Amino acid sequence: MPLEAYDDKDIDTRVPAAWLHYVGGMGPKDGVGAQGLWKDNRDDFYYWRPLRLLKYLPKTERYEGFWENTREKVRMPRIFILFNEEDPRIFARRFKSAYQKRIYADALIKANYYVENMPRHQIPEIEGN
């Protein structure tokens, strides 16, 4: 399952709309600065890259913006975004929590699958009882 399924939104210090607005409710025209987890298709590694976020899409629970270096459009879930105004320690705690929950859920799924597929043996009945 994707990591965003295990994201604990209660750890977040602001609601989505608050991340995209400055004091006074005016959002910047060029977007809000952040770091996003970007996948390099050449080597399948992930890197943190500068990102500008323009809006939040509540239906899909994703932020929309563009990569600063390529101006390529991007939509990504909150768990992969570190806002410039955010405390990195809180973000790391949130990311770690989601990662550990995913590992635990995966272990439970594997254990349940193993138990459900164990062979069942019939115990022969003893005559005369």
The radius of gyration computed from the CA coordinates of the chain, to the nearest angstrom, equals 22
Q: Among 1-10, 76-85, 119-128, which stretch is predicted with the lowest mean pLDDT?
A: 119-128
Which tens digits make up the pLDDT trace of 79-113?
Answer: 999 999 899 999 999 999 999 999 999 999 888 88
CB atoms under 10 Å from CB of 127, counted, come to 5
Sign (positive or negative) of CA dihedral 20, 44, 11, 78: positive
Which tens digits make up the pLDDT trace of 20-67?
Answer: 875 344 456 678 999 999 988 899 899 999 999 999 999 999 999 999
Closest CA to 19 of 76, 88, 86: 86
Query: Which fold would CATH assign to domain 9-85?
Result: SH3 type barrels. (2.30.30)
DSSP alpha helices (H): ranges in the chain? 16-19, 88-116
